[in-house]
Amino acid sequence: MNRWLLWLPLGLFGLFFVAVAAGLMIPKDNVIESKMVGKPMPAFSLPAAIEQRPALSSTDLVDGKPKLLNIFASWCLPCIAEAPQLLELEKAGVEIHAIASRDRPEDIANFLNRWGNPYSRIGSDATSSVQLELGSSGVPETFVIDGKGIIVHQHIGDIRKENVPELLAILREAQ
Amino acid sequence: MRYILVFVASVLAVPVAAQTGLPPAPYADQQLADPAKEAAARDLMEELRCLKCQSQSIADSNAPMAGDMRSQVRQRIAAGETPEQIRNWLVERYGSWVTYDPPVTPMTWPLWIAPIFLLIGALWLARGRFRRKKDDS
């Protein structure tokens, strides 16, 4: 028998070891992107989440102007982090609609009183049904929808300072 | 005394930060009345990946979103959709990532081919062994 072949099991074990060590040390990329980007908004209709804002249905998202659809929840900490950026976008003239994920009206009202309310309409998605329609897997997420109701972009996670100009550029392009 | 304290503490304990305040979706943890449909729904749930806790199926996960997905699966099955239709509906939205029964695509064919190659390799090795024995005798 070829004596080099004797080293094969050790070599295989080495490969196995490296693969496992790499899997442990390299942080996992758990982001699941929606396959709905580039497709039309699925039809939905959600009841109003709070008294102060009207309900949201998919037809509200198709009126010739590009807009943002933000998915948030009062129980979601990164949603607090992105609140100032959403207010900034609203100040820049962007229309922002929202879906409140698995949330109570009083909790949503408290959250918005505390961190600001940049939303024109807020729909309440108590069983994540619209989130599943959108291919969204968590909060916060923000979709850019063009005037014809096509989803042109999905931002996963909180909107940071540096994402604001990016989103504004995408909105301009979607005009 | 200590036991009483422990008991009182465990009764008074409340989750500090629940993920969501809402009750689960209607069919998240409630079985369908029709056993055949429930079995079909159950089989599908075991093959759908939880979006939040990514190494579990939605049947195994306690995440609220997994509950919402279970409810969707049961409601759609009850409404007469086939498991394949529901699977495709999810794959359309999340990619084949969401199913534990991945379709054969340019990305996944090595997964399907690998066992066949391993089997052929094993047979080849075994053949070598048997032949050598014959040579010795």
Give yes or no for B16 touching A (CB within 8 A): no
Q: B98 falls in which pLDDT band (50, 70, 90)?
A: very high
> pLDDT tens-digit profile of B22-68?
888 889 999 999 999 999 999 999 999 998 877 899 999 999 999 99
Could you tell me the end-to-end alpha-carbon distance of chain B, in angstroms, rounded to an integer?
A: 79
Cβ atoms of A106 and A112 within 8 Å: the answer is: no
- Please give the class, per CATH, of domain A45-173: alpha beta
DSSP for A87-117, please give it. Answer: HHHHHTT--EEEEEES--HHHHHHHHHHH--
- Per residue of chain A (175 residues), give pLDDT as tens: 678 888 999 999 999 999 999 989 988 777 889 999 999 999 999 999 999 999 999 999 998 999 999 999 999 999 999 999 999 999 999 999 999 999 999 999 999 999 999 999 999 999 999 999 999 998 999 999 999 999 999 999 999 999 999 999 999 998 8
Mutual angle of helices A77-91 and A163-173, in 10-degree steps: 50
Residues B30 and B57 grouped into a single domain: yes
pLDDT at B18 > cutoff 70? no
d(CA A102, CA A49): 10
User: Could you tell me which residues come within 8 angstroms of residue A171 by beta carbon, excluding any fewer than 6 positions away?
Assistant: A66, A67, A68, A94, A144
Q: Which chain A residues contact residue B65 at CB under 8 A?
A: 128, 131, 137-138
- Predicted local confidence at residue B128, as pLDDT: 84
Question: For chain A, which residues make up each domain, given as ranges?
Answer: 45-173
Total Cβ atoms within 10 A of residue A38: 10
Q: Can you tell me the distance from the alpha carbon of B80 to that of B77, in angstroms, rounded to the nearest whole number?
A: 5
> Does A137 sit within 8 Å of B51, measured CB to CB?
yes
**ipTM surpassing 0.90:** no
> Which of A125-134, B16-25, B85-94 is predicted least confidently?
B16-25
Are residue B93 and residue B123 in the same domain, yes or no?
no
Other C-beta atoms closer than 10 Å to the C-beta of B42 total 16
- Does a structural domain hold residue B2? no
On whether both B96 and B136 belong to a single domain, the answer is no
pLDDT of residue B48: 95
What's the pLDDT score for residue B8? 60
CA of B67: how far to CAs of A76, A82, B88, B114, in Å? 18, 27, 19, 34
pLDDT at B130: 84
Q: What is the arithmetic mean of pLDDT over B85-100?
A: 93
CB-nearest to A135 from B69, B72, B94 is B94
Amino acid B17: pLDDT:
47
pLDDT of residue B78 exceeding 50, the answer is yes
Does residue B26 fall inside a structural domain?
A: yes
Which sign does the torsion angle of CA A11, B109, B40, A33 carry?
positive
Same domain, B99 and B111: no
Q: Is residue B8 part of a domain?
A: no
pLDDT reported for residue B102: 79
**Which positions 60-89 of B are in contact with A (Cβ < 8 Å)?**
64-65, 68-69, 71-72
The verdict on A2 touching B (C-beta cutoff 8 Å) is: no
B122 and B96 in one domain? no
**Statement to judge: residues B46 and B77 lie in one domain:** yes
Any domain includes B12 = no
Residues B31 and B52 in one domain: yes
Residue B15: per-residue pLDDT = 45
Residue B117 belongs to some domain of the structure: yes
- B37 class by beta-carbon count within 10 Å (0-12 exposed, 13-18 middle, 19+ buried): middle
- How far B58 CA lies from chain A's nearest CA (Å)? 13
Question: Containing H/E element for A153?
Answer: strand A151-156
Residue B5 located in a structural domain = no
Residue B134 lies in a domain: yes
Give me the amino acid identity at B30: Q
Task: Tell me how many domains chain B contains.
Answer: 2
Query: Chain B interface, mutation test: which of A29, A34, A101, A102, most B Cβ atoms within 10 Å?
Result: A102
- pTM, entire model: 0.80
* B51 contacts A102? CB cut-off 8 A: no
Please give the Cα distance from A150 to B95 (Å, whole number).
19
Are the C-beta atoms of A55 and A44 separated by less than 8 Å?
no
In a domain, B9, yes or no: no
B111 and B131: one domain? yes
Q: Is B64 exposed, middle or buried (0-12, 13-18, 19+ CB in 10 A)?
A: buried
B30 & B40 share domain = yes
Both B38 and B92 in a single domain? yes
pLDDT confidence of residue A122: 97
Structural domain harbouring B29 = 22-103
